[in-house]
Amino acid sequence: MPVYDRTYRRWDGELKRRAFRAAPIVMAGIRGAFAGRSSWFWTLQLRGFMVVSCLPTLLLFFLNFLFWYRPAWLPPETFRFFDMIAPYRAIQYPLLTRLNSMFLMIYCVLIGSGLIARDRATGALPLYLSRPLTLTDYLLGKIGIIGWFMAMFTLVPNLLIWLVGALADPVEGAWGRALPLLFPIVAHNLAVILTYSLTILAVSSLCRRPMFAALIWFALFILLPSFTSMIGSGRGLGALAAVSPNDALFAAGYQLYDVAGLFDRALGEQDGGVRAGIEALFDAMKFFASSTSLQAWTSVASWCGLSLLVLVGVLRRQDVVVDAGAR
């Protein structure tokens, strides 16, 4: 007996509670990502990778704990160092997102590449859309699955660090000083989440095999734009450098947090030896934007817009439901 009958009629009942109709897709997708695979060795590798991917976040949380609570076993020189870097702590938010970017790419390949490709390969779209679900609900559910994993390594840890810092600051007016950082944190990390989620889903909708989707996404999203960005940066062409979505996202983040202003302020307030160390640190961590704010945000909007057009266009062309009376 077939899993479904292609003569199923579209559900004609009254649609209610739109905000919750995508929730089962999201929850099922997240549970499926954590579920065991066919091989215990593969499952062990996946669980191990999930543990390793939490290390940068845990390390930054530990450093913030030392900064705010300053345990007695720390040497006094560490406290002086904390006092010196206190005015420039906003740089930790784009730093955490950048450190987690490699894990974001791997999660996109492991989880996002098959979200739509498997549905197309198994013919599950008719089953989805013959229920009280619209195409919008289906897309929101798939975006919610991959977006949840992206948020766990971008928006959520940054917001927790911001909240803990505001609560732990004993100086009066801590909330007033912390509040201006909330908009850059939300704007930058939402841009990262949307860009990664929409691009991997767009490629997944074009393929029937997750492996092909992963290869195409990695080539189009990582390799080719990175090569173009390297050429643009070497020749001082910011617009060409912004073609890379990763470079554009990092440049947009640096400008939202005013990293250049923090750098200039750090150089002006420190002596020669410390200034050289600050310059070396900023250069090593690539905290200098190679594109303007307009170029960076234009690139991000273009990647998201094009991915959404491809995603909607491909899914609308699928023969998802055939009316029984028309056959």
The DSSP-derived string for 215-232 is HHHIIIIIIHHHHHHHHH
φ/ψ bin of 286: left (φ > 0), alpha (ψ from -120 to 50), beta (otherwise): left
Mean pLDDT value across the chain: 80
Confidence of residue 323 (pLDDT cuts 50, 70, 90): very low
User: Is residue 311 pLDDT above 50, yes or no?
Assistant: yes
Lowest mean pLDDT among 104-113, 163-172, 259-268: 259-268
Is residue 241 within 8 Å of residue 229, measured between CB atoms? yes
* Residues 195-219, mean pLDDT to the nearest whole number: 91
Is residue 259 within 8 Å of residue 290, measured between CB atoms? no
Give the residue, 2 or 57, on which the prediction is more confident. 57
Spatial distance between the Cα atoms of 88 and 14, rounded to a whole number of angstroms: 54
User: Is residue 6 pLDDT above 60, yes or no?
Assistant: no
* Residues 171-182, mean pLDDT to the nearest whole number: 85
* Residues 302-316, mean pLDDT to the nearest whole number: 92
